[in-house]
A and B are shown apart, each in its own frame.
Chain A
Amino acid sequence: MSLTLHQVTRRYGAVTALRDVSCEIPAGQLVGLLGPNGAGKSTLLRIAATLLPPSAGEVWVNGHDLRQAAPAIRRDLGYLPEAPPSDPVLSVAEYLRFRATLKQIPRREQAARVERQIDQWQLQVVRQQRVDRLSLGYRRRVGLADALLGNPRVLLLDEPTIGLDPLQVVETRQLLRRLAGEVTVLVSTHLLAEVELLCDRALVLRRGELVADLALGMTAAGPNAFDLELDDPPERVRPLLEQWGRLVILPTRTPGRWRIETAWSAPELVRACVSAGFQLCALRACQPTLEDRLLAIEWNTLREAA
Chain B
Amino acid sequence: MLAVVGAVYGRELRAFHRRPLGWLILLIAALPPLVAGSWLVALSARGGLATRASGHPVTQFLGPNVFLISTLLVLVPLLTMNLIAEERRRGAWELYATSPSSLGSVVLGKFLAAWTLLLACLAPWPLVLGLLRVWNGGFQPAALGWPLFGLPLPAGPGLVFDPGLLLGGLAGLCVVGGTLTALGTCCSAWCRHPLLAGLTTATLLGLLVAFSLLPTVLENWRIPLEQFAWMRPWAVWIHLSEFSQGSLSLGRCGQHLTVSLALLWLSRVACQHQSAGSS
Partners in one complex: yes
Instruction: Give A residues with C-beta under 8 Å from B.
Output: 12, 17, 43, 46, 49-53, 71-72, 74-75, 77, 79, 81, 83, 85-90, 98-99, 101-104, 107, 146
Among B11, B18, B275, chain A packs the most CB atoms within 10 A around the CB of B11
Asked if A74 and B92 sit within 8 Å, CB to CB, the answer is no
| Residue ID in chain A nearest B101 by CB atoms | A102
| B98 CB contacts on chain A under 8 angstroms | 49-51, 74, 77, 79
Enumerate chain A residues within 8 angstroms of B15, measured Cβ to Cβ: 88-89
Q: Mark B11-37, 1 if CB is under 8 A from A, else 0.
A: 100110011000000000000000000
| Complexed CA–CA distance, A104 and B3 (Å) | 8
Q: Considering only CB atoms, which chain B residue lies closest to A101 in the complex?
A: B7
Against A, the Cβ 8 Å flags (1 = close, 0 = not) of B83-119 are: 0000000111011111111100010000000000000
- The answer to whether A51 touches B97 (Cβ under 8 A) is yes
Please list the 6 inter-chain residue pairs (A to B) with the smallest Cβ-Cβ separation, ordered nearest first: A101-B7, A89-B15, A74-B100, A83-B91, A102-B99, A75-B100
With A12-B279, A89-B11 as given contacts, are A101 and B97 in contact (CB-CB < 8 Å)? no
Inter-subunit contact B101/A81 (CB<8 Å): no
Closest Cβ neighbor of A82 among chain B residues: B91
Q: Does residue B148 face the partner (Cβ distance < 8 Å to A)?
A: no
Q: How big is chain B's contact interface, by range?
A: 20 to 34
Known: A12-B279, A17-B279. A81 touches B95 (CB 8 A): yes
| B276 touching A74, Cβ below 8 Å | no
Say if the beta carbon of B4 comes within 8 Å of chain A. yes
| Interface of B (DSSP majority class) | helix
* CB <8 Å contact, A103 and B100: yes
Once A17-B279, A52-B276, A77-B98 are accepted as A-B contacts, the answer to whether A104 and B4 lie under 8 Å apart by CB is yes
A183 to B43, CA, bound (A): 73
- Please, how many angstroms separate the alpha-carbon atoms of A67 and B199 in the complex? 35
Closest approach, in angstroms, between the C-beta of A75 and any C-beta of chain B?
5
Contact digits for B224-255, partner A, Cβ 8 Å, 1 yes 0 no: 00000000000000000000000000000000
Residues of A contacting B14 in the complex (Cβ-Cβ under 8 angstroms): 89-90
Q: Which single residue of chain B is at the shortest CB-CB distance from A12?
A: B279
Chain A residues contacting B279 (CB-CB under 8 Å) are 12, 17, 43
Contacting pair B7 A102 (CB below 8 A): yes
Nearest CB to that of A97 among chain B residues?
B7
Compute how far the CA of A107 lies from the CA of B6 in the bound complex, rounded to whole angstroms.
13
Whether the pair A71, B100 counts as a contact (CB closer than 8 A) is yes
- Taking CB atoms, residues of chain A closer than 8 Å to B96 are 102
The answer to whether B4 and A101 have CB atoms under 8 Å apart is: yes
Residues of B within 8 A of A104 (CB): 3-4, 99-101
Please give the distance in Å from A264's CB to the nearest CB on chain B.
Answer: 46
Q: Contacts A74-B98, A74-B100 hold; do A101 and B91 have CB atoms under 8 A apart?
A: no
Chain A residues with Cβ under 8 A from B97's Cβ?
A: 50-51
Contact partners of B95 in chain A: CB under 8 A: 79, 81, 85, 99, 102, 146
Inter-subunit contact B11/A107 (CB<8 Å): no
A146 partner residues in chain B, CB cutoff 8 A: 95
Chain A residue at smallest Cβ distance from B6? A101
Q: Please tell me if the beta carbons of B100 and A87 are within 8 angstroms of each other in the complex.
A: no
Residues facing A in B53-88 (CB within 8 A) are none
Please, could you name 21 A-B residue pairs with CB atoms under 8 Å apart, sorted by A? A12-B279, A46-B94, A49-B98, A72-B100, A77-B98, A79-B94, A79-B95, A83-B90, A86-B91, A87-B92, A89-B14, A89-B15, A90-B14, A99-B99, A101-B6, A102-B7, A102-B95, A102-B100, A102-B101, A104-B100, A107-B3
